[in-house]
């Protein structure tokens, strides 16, 4: 099965105000067998993706169609090639899929988080009432930035994806301090694309990868007021108590601690415990940086 002959028909061009010009070429091929493969037909007329237009080299081929039984004859086939000025999403179409640069998308959004602290000037303090008791169920809005990175890979790095999910940055990254950028997850789907490889239209399998990072200005560490029903004194854990009607009874509310297990005295507010719960990684090693 092969293409016996082919001839090109009249070329057309269009250019609307505010848009890039578009061009079209058409061929009619004669086949020795109606079941000739469409890929062979396209290769015979030279309609290779991203190839330049013969008259307007700035326009590249981005779409090609094969229409069987041209003019009612099963041995004739029409090939239609469309040319445009390369757009961002396909200007690297002549490269292998995994050789193309990743695409970055940024989105700012708000999220409700538990309100455990408040800022007094430049000092972070526990959020309590005037008697030192904590409020329950209070939330506050916090701005966060979602970063979506899409790209292509020759194979899906499933082990790496699992290893870095729920990890945070170990140093400054994209303007955020350490522990402020977290890997939410990495997804992938298989894909196949036909591109020109050494002048031959070739099916190339690859993986489309999407990674999502979530950035918080206050970070992903837990800022916990150091409170509890017990305290340590002289190396011994003791139950916190309060005086009620002249009698000492077990405290019904947690008491303020000093960050070392000791009881705060004199109405001092509890210390704030900064606890990192996610593993750190070097983000640029896995995700690089966005184009400038």
pLDDT at 183: 97
Whether 275 is covered by a domain: the verdict is: no
Residue that finishes a domain, picked among 49, 84, 119? 84
Q: Are residues 22 and 111 in the same domain?
A: no
- 77 and 141 inside one domain: no
- pLDDT tens string 13-53: 999 998 889 999 999 999 999 999 888 899 899 998 888 99
pLDDT, position 86: 84
> Kind of pairing, strands 139-153 and 103-114?
antiparallel
The pLDDT value given to residue 12: 96
For residue 217, the model assigns a pLDDT of 85
For residue 1, give the nearest of 59, 41, 28 by alpha carbon: 41
Residues 78, 171, single domain; the answer is no
Taking the C-alpha atoms of residue 153 and residue 209, their distance in angstroms, rounded to an integer, is 7
Q: Are residues 216 and 112 in the same domain?
A: yes
Q: Please check whether residues 131 and 66 belong to one and the same domain.
A: no
Question: Do 110 and 215 belong to one domain?
Answer: yes
Question: For 137, left (φ over 0), alpha (ψ -120 to 50), or beta?
Answer: left
pLDDT confidence of residue 247: 83
Say whether both 15 and 77 belong to one domain: yes
The domain total for the chain is 3
Whether 95 is in a domain gets the answer: no
Asked whether residue 106 falls in the same domain as residue 203, the answer is yes
Residue 89 lies in a domain: no
* Spans of the chain below 70 pLDDT: 88-94, 132, 199, 266-267
Whole-model pTM? Answer: 0.68
Residue 263 forms part of a structural domain: yes
CA separation for the pair 192, 209 (Å, rounded): 13
- Render pLDDT for 142-182 as a digit per residue (tens, 0 to 9): 889 999 999 999 999 899 999 999 999 999 999 999 999 99
CA distance 49 to 38: 14
Residue 45, in any domain of the structure: yes
DSSP 170-215: SS-BTTBPTT-EEEEEEEEEEEEEEEEETTEEEEEEEEEEEEEEEE
Rounded CA gap, 73 and 4, in Å? 15
Check residue 12 and report its DSSP letter: E
By residue range, what is the domain housing residue 212? 100-221+280-287
Residue 112 lies in a domain: yes
Q: Are residues 216 and 163 in the same domain?
A: yes
One domain for residues 36 and 121: no
- Let me know whether 165 and 75 are in one domain: no
What's the pLDDT at 185? 95
């Amino acid at each position: 099965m092969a293409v016996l002959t082919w001839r090109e028909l009249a070329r057309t061009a269009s250019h609307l105000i505010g848009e890039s010009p578009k061009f079209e070429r058409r061929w009619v091929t004669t086949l020795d067998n109606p079941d000739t493969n469409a890929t062979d037909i396209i290769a015979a007329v030279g309609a290779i993706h991203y190839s330049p237009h013969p008259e307007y080299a700035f326009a590249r081929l981005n779409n090609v169609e094969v229409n069987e039984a041209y003019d009612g004859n099963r041995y004739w086939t029409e090939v239609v090639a469309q040319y445009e000025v390369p757009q961002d999403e396909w200007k690297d179409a002549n490269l292998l899929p995994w050789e193309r640069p990743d695409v970055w998308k940024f989105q700012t959004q708000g999220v409700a988080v538990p309100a455990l602290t408040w800022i007094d000037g430049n000092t972070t303090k526990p959020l309590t009432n005037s008697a030192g008791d904590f409020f329950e169920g209070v939330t506050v809005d916090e701005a966060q930035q979602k970063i979506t990175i899409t790209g292509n890979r020759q194979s899906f790095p499933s082990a790496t994806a699992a290893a870095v999910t729920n990890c945070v940055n170990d140093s400054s990254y994209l303007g955020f301090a350490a522990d402020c950028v977290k890997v939410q997850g990495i997804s992938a789907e298989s894909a196949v694309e036909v591109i020109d490889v050494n002048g031959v239209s070739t099916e190339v399998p690859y993986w489309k990868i999407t990674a999502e990072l979530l950035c918080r200005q206050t970070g992903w560490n837990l800022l916990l007021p150091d409170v509890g029903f017990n305290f340590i004194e002289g190396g011994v854990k003791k139950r916190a108590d309060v005086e009620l009607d002249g009698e000492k009874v077990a405290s019904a509310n947690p008491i303020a601690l000093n960050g070392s297990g000791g009881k705060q005295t004199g109405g001092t507010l509890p210390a704030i415990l900064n606890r990192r719960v996610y593993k750190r990684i070097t983000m640029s090693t896995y995700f690089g940086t966005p184009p400038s």
